[in-house]
Structure 1
């Protein structure tokens, strides 16, 4: 297996949305994905992109991706916020997640971000164990909040 990690391109967006839907189904929220392809493409590849991504590809097939945006901490400065890291179910356990995370770390260093932040569902033991292997810290103090508008 030869996995190539590269920056996402606009032509990848349809496949990325398929993987996002797969993740939503895995996270027991299949009806929560409401973003359109046009909006997704514009947000990543329009005049003012707000997200960037790396894809993991084998023989021209995208098996996973990691999508991030820039978050600002008044205490720490610019940080990478990892919105999603997804590896299709059939390809899990082959080191693809680690390759994607390595690309994120290199990107964060290149852009001089002060760290990487993300969330994981408390019941997602495979993901939690993966992050523990990376040496990630888990913050028990903060509660996630959101406001839908």
Structure 2
């Protein structure tokens, strides 16, 4: 497959149902298929409501979304506003075809346009294909920081 058949564009509200399917695919891949609890209404409101908190780009082939990247603005007291990449996913049938690179390139363009000094994200330590992809893109995988989560419910 050639990348010429892939369109990278900004996510739209009408894309949300398919994007949530990809989120579920990612959760299954990450061995947490029952952890997705966000509703379509909440997802749509959070991305396309009066005060959006996430933005995204999608990879489309033949009118079907085959990949996506979702990000939000993170604030660093040392660097100011930065881009936080929440999810970058290419559906399994379309992996190893350069689509992830197209999505990452689109995020780099967006980050530069918004004067974000860097893009930050997390990757599971066992996800060797993703780690190799990020290393190929000269990402700094920082072993010094530990991710923390505090559940408030």
Q: TM-score, normalised by structure 2?
A: 0.96
Structure 2: any 5+ residue segments left out of the alignment? none
Q: Tell me how far apart the structure 1 counterparts of residues 97 and 36 of structure 2 sit (CA, whole Å).
A: 27
Aligned-pair CA distance for 1:95: 0.2
1:70 aligns with 2:73: yes
Could you say which residue in structure 2 is the equivalent of 1:37? 40
Could you say which residue in structure 2 is the equivalent of 1:22? 25
Structure 1: any 5+ residue segments left out of the alignment? none
Pick the aligned partner of 2:64 from 56, 61, 65.
61
Please give the secondary structure, in 1, of the residue aligned with 2:24: helix
Pick the aligned partner of 1:85 from 70, 85, 88.
88
Aligned-pair CA distance for 1:58: 0.6
Pick the aligned partner of 1:102 from 100, 105, 113.
105
Aligned-pair CA distance for 1:50: 0.2
Q: TM-score, normalised by structure 1?
A: 0.99
Could you say which residue in structure 2 is the equivalent of 1:46? 49
Task: Work out the number of aligned pairs and report it.
Answer: 149
Could you say which residue in structure 2 is the equivalent of 1:6? 9
Q: Tell me how far apart the structure 1 counterparts of residues 151 and 35 of structure 2 sit (CA, whole Å).
A: 12
For the aligned residue pairs, the C-alpha RMSD in angstroms reads: 0.5
Q: Tell me how far apart the structure 1 counterparts of residues 143 and 12 of structure 2 sit (CA, whole Å).
A: 36
Please give the secondary structure, in 1, of the residue aligned with 2:58: strand
Aligned-pair CA distance for 1:59: 1.0
Q: Tell me how far apart the structure 2 counterparts of residues 138 and 99 of structure 1 sit (CA, whole Å).
A: 21
